[in-house]
């Protein structure tokens, strides 16, 4: 209930699929994993060992792990939350071993011909005649931190060696390679050419039905079929969608093939993908039939630099314009497992510096907003995580998440141990997320005010950012101050073209903040501009709703 009441609609459960890890589960028929090709004790959630099973470390009774996961999905649904999990298409653990395969399903690589580098229906790429060698780990990257383990001997039996998950063709990967994984073969030849049908030109304009029809009767690489079966298995198990890991490392044609099949059978499934190359965004959305992509290298990177004081708000309008045609398909976020915690010294050093950025992240687009557990109470990830370094909550080792644990309060989930500052921060997130969840304006029009006010308003700082959101029946003025040290006073101006587009009339308006500050201002008309006097304290963020006086 508390998660839903925070303003959350979907929970992305990470680390659910059975991946390579250190604990001993031989008593239930699971083989040991070698620490030399496992990162940390928990292992990488993106080094999948068995695609048809769940992580035994997360189960109260590992032998009943699948039943427990289905119970979790059912509980989530009963509390009004939908569930997504990871699908990792580009790579699997070096020791993939399906113990729960449905009837007729064989493991990745079981039918491969390892005597050749490449064959279309091989699941892996091989390095014939070469044995895999464990990376030369520098200090700080020793398996299990250098602790003794019977399998930790600097060796791992793999002959012939396979290509590593990030594409390394070296039988001895570098320690910064994804050495714990092997790359899956999607029918891309070693020279980069394709060994599968290509989509017709301009097929990005076609709908799901046309994409699904295109693939009927066509021969595709074996890996494609295996991953489609895996996706269908989990959707049939009751989940509501996927977060696709490193989607851009897989051909866009595969996404057309997979996602059209998913949407035909599960039209409401949410399909979110990690793509970091902006030049590929539109192809993966329109050709690949994905619902949402990370807005990482655009808005996230910009807001991070602003929070750190390296950039000012003048950069934001350009980031918004670059993706204007696909803005509704971009997922906004300020934290996730790959990124530093905002409150860590390595990022911003203070959780409240996220408040203006969070308002922009949640309200400047019409796509979804994601928050990472503990972000709403200012988790700084200060602990030594084992594998890795502080500033990120480790996904490879088991460490505490103290701010989140204080909210959990020994299973009461009521924030009973939070400080007043942490409670106030969580209340801010709760107000903001619920407002954006329930306001139709978030799906409406956007109008930049920042550049106009920078050119025409005395006292309007480059650390301030402002914009309008509106529908035919409701208007919002959003103004934030990114400066943690300085406040500003100025008369904000809404130019005539924006004023008219918002369906506003030449009468005074009362502006009332919707985030709980109690702030009220009056907007008047002067020389065809809407004008309101604002006072912006450091890190202030206001969402003013218009009402006629």
What CATH number does the domain containing 487 carry?
2.60.40.1180
**Percent of the chain whose pLDDT exceeds 90:** 94
| Strand bridging mode 126-127 / 48-54 | unpaired
233 inside domain: no
Angstrom CA distances, 390 to 138, 247, 341, 344, stand at 18, 27, 9, 8
Return the exposure string of 24-54: e unless at least 16 CB atoms fall within 10 Å of the residue's CB, then b.
Answer: ebeeeebebbbbbbbbbbbbbbbbbbbbbbb
- Residue with the bigger pLDDT between 194 and 142: it is 194
> Distance between CA atoms of 491 and 453, rounded to whole angstroms?
9
359: domain range? 297-438
Classified as helix, coil or strand, 162 is strand
Q: Are 462 and 434 in the same domain? A: no
Question: What is the per-residue pLDDT across 482-505, written as a single tens digit (0 to 9) for each?
Answer: 999 999 999 999 999 999 999 998
**Percent of the chain whose pLDDT exceeds 70:** 100
Classified as helix, coil or strand, 520 is strand
Is the model's pLDDT at 179 over the cut of 70?
yes
* Average pLDDT along the chain: 96
Q: Give how many domains the chain has, as a whole number.
A: 2
48 inside domain: no
Q: Are 463 and 433 in the same domain? A: no
180 inside domain: no
32 inside domain: no
528 inside domain: yes
Cβ atoms of 245 and 46 within 8 Å: the answer is yes
Q: Are 303 and 426 in the same domain? A: yes
Question: What is the per-residue pLDDT across 106-147, written as a single tens digit (0 to 9) for each?
Answer: 999 999 999 999 999 999 999 999 999 999 987 667 888 888
pLDDT of residue 115: 98
Identify the CA nearest to 377 among candidates 4, 5, 6, 1. 6
pLDDT of residue 385: 84
Identify the CA nearest to 510 among candidates 549, 466, 467. 549
Is the model's pLDDT at 404 over the cut of 80?
yes
Q: Are 303 and 365 in the same domain? A: yes
Q: Are 431 and 489 in the same domain? A: no
> Distance between CA atoms of 524 and 212, rounded to whole angstroms?
55
Cβ atoms of 351 and 343 within 8 Å: the answer is yes
Question: What is the per-residue pLDDT across 155-167, written as a single tens digit (0 to 9) for each?
Answer: 999 999 999 999 9
Q: Are 419 and 463 in the same domain? A: no
Show the 3-state SS of 225-263: HHHHHHHHHHHHCCCCEEEECCHHHCCHHHHHHHHHHHH
pLDDT of residue 139: 66
Angstrom CA distances, 182 to 59, 138, 179, 195, 290, stand at 26, 21, 7, 20, 25
Question: What is the per-residue pLDDT across 281-306, written as a single tens digit (0 to 9) for each?
Answer: 999 999 999 999 999 999 999 999 99
Is the model's pLDDT at 202 over the cut of 80?
yes
The vertex-95 CA angle with 94 and 98, nearest 5°, equals 130
128 inside domain: no
Other CB atoms within 10 Å distance of the CB of residue 476: 23
pLDDT of residue 401: 94
Q: Are 427 and 507 in the same domain? A: no
Q: Distance from CA of residue 262 to its chain's centroid?
A: 20
162 inside domain: no
Classified as helix, coil or strand, 284 is helix
Other CB atoms within 10 Å distance of the CB of residue 492: 24
Tokens of 359: 């308002």
Q: Are 486 and 452 in the same domain? A: yes
Q: Are 328 and 400 in the same domain? A: yes
Which of 438, 467, 485 is the C-terminal boundary of a domain? 438
pLDDT of residue 384: 86
pLDDT of residue 265: 98
Close Cβ partners of 309 (under 8 Å, ≥ 6 residues apart): none
Tokens of 125: 């790429």
pLDDT of residue 527: 83
Q: Model pTM? A: 0.96
Question: What is the per-residue pLDDT across 327-361, written as a single tens digit (0 to 9) for each?
Answer: 999 999 999 999 999 999 999 999 999 999 999 99
Question: What is the per-residue pLDDT across 68-82, written as a single tens digit (0 to 9) for each?
Answer: 999 999 999 999 999
What CATH number does the domain containing 405 carry?
3.20.20.80
Identify the CA nearest to 476 among candidates 451, 508, 447, 433. 447
Question: What is the per-residue pLDDT across 447-471, written as a single tens digit (0 to 9) for each?
Answer: 999 999 999 999 999 999 999 999 9
Question: What is the per-residue pLDDT across 242-280, written as a single tens digit (0 to 9) for each?
Answer: 999 999 999 999 999 999 999 999 999 999 999 999 999
Q: Distance from CA of residue 216 to its chain's centroid?
A: 32
Which of 381, 412, 438 is the C-terminal boundary of a domain? 438
The vertex-9 CA angle with 502 and 236, nearest 5°, equals 130
pLDDT, mean of residues 225-237: 98
Is the model's pLDDT at 42 over the cut of 90?
yes
Return the H-helix or E-strand segment holding 303. Answer: helix 301-307
Q: Are 434 and 457 in the same domain? A: no
What sections of 364-483 are H helices per DSSP?
402-408, 420-438, 450-456
230 φ, ψ (degrees, to nearest 5): -65, -45
Classified as helix, coil or strand, 166 is coil
262 inside domain: no
Which of 438, 471, 505 is the C-terminal boundary of a domain? 438
- Concatenated DSSP letters of 49-66: EEEEEE-GGG-SSGGGHH
């Amino acid at each position: 209930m508390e998660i839903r009441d925070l303003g959350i609609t979907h929970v992305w459960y990470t680390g659910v699929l059975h991946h390579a890890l250190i604990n001993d589960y031989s008593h239930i028929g699971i083989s040991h994993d070698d620490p030399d090709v496992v990162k940390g004790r928990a292992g990488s959630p993106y080094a999948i060992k068995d695609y048809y099973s769940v992580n035994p470390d997360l189960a109260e009774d590992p032998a009943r792990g699948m039943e427990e996961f289905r119970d979790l999905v059912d509980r989530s649904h009963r509390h009004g939350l939908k569930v997504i999990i990871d699908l990792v298409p580009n790579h699997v653990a070096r020791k993939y071993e399906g113990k729960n395969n449905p009837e007729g399903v064989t493991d990745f690589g079981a039918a491969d011909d390892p005597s050749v580098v490449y064959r279309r229906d091989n699941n892996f790429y091989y390095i014939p005649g070469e044995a895999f060698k464990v990376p030369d780990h520098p200090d700080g990257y020793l398996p299990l931190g250098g602790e003794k383990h019977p399998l930790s001997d600097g060796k791992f039996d793999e002959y012939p060696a396979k290509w590593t998950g990030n594409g390394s063709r070296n039988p001895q990967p570098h320690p910064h390679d994804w050495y714990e994984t092997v790359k899956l073969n999607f029918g891309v030849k070693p020279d980069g050419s394709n060994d599968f049908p290509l989509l017709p030109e301009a097929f990005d304009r076609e709908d799901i039905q046309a994409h699904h029809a295109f693939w009927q009767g066509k021969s595709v690489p074996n890996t494609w079929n295996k991953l489609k079966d895996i996706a269908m298995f989990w959707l049939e198990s009751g989940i509501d969608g996927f977060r696709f890991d490193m989607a851009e490392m897989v051909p866009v044609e595969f996404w057309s093939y997979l996602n059209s099949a998913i949407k035909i059978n599960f039209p409401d499934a949410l399909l979110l993908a990690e793509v970091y190359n902006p030049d590929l965004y539109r192809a993966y959305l329109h050709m690949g039939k994905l619902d949402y992509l990370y807005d990482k290298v655009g808005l996230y990177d910009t807001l991070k630099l602003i929070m750190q004081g390296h950039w000012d708000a003048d950069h934001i309008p350009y980031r918004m314009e670059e993706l204007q045609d696909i803005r509704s398909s971009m997922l906004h976020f300020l934290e996730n497992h790959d990124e530093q915690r905002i409150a860590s010294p390595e990022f911003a050093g203070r959780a409240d510096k996220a408040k203006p950025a969070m308002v922009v992240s949640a309200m400047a687009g019409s796509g979804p907003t994601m928050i990472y557990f503990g972000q709403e109470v200012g988790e700084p990830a200060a602990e030594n995580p084992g594998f890795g370094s502080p500033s990120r909550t480790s996904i490879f080792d088991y460490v505490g998440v103290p701010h989140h644990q204080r909210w959990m309060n020994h299973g009461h989930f009521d924030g009973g141990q939070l400080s007043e500052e942490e409670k106030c921060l969580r209340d801010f997130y709760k107000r903001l997320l619920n407002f954006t969840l329930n306001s139709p304006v978030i799906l409406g029009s956007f109008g930049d005010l920042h550049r106009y006010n920078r050119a025409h308003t005395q006292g309007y700082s480059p650390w301030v950012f402002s914009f309008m959101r509106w529908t035919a029946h409701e208007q919002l003025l959003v103004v934030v101050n990114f400066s943690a040290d300085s406040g500003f006073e100025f008369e904000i101006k809404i130019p005539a073209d924006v004023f008219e587009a918002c369906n506003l009339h030449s009468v005074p308006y009362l502006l009332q903040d919707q985030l709980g500050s109690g702030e009220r201002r009056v907007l008047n008309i002067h020389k065809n501009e809407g004008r309101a006097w604002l006072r912006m304290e450091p890190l202030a963020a206001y969402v003013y709703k218009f009402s006629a006086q």
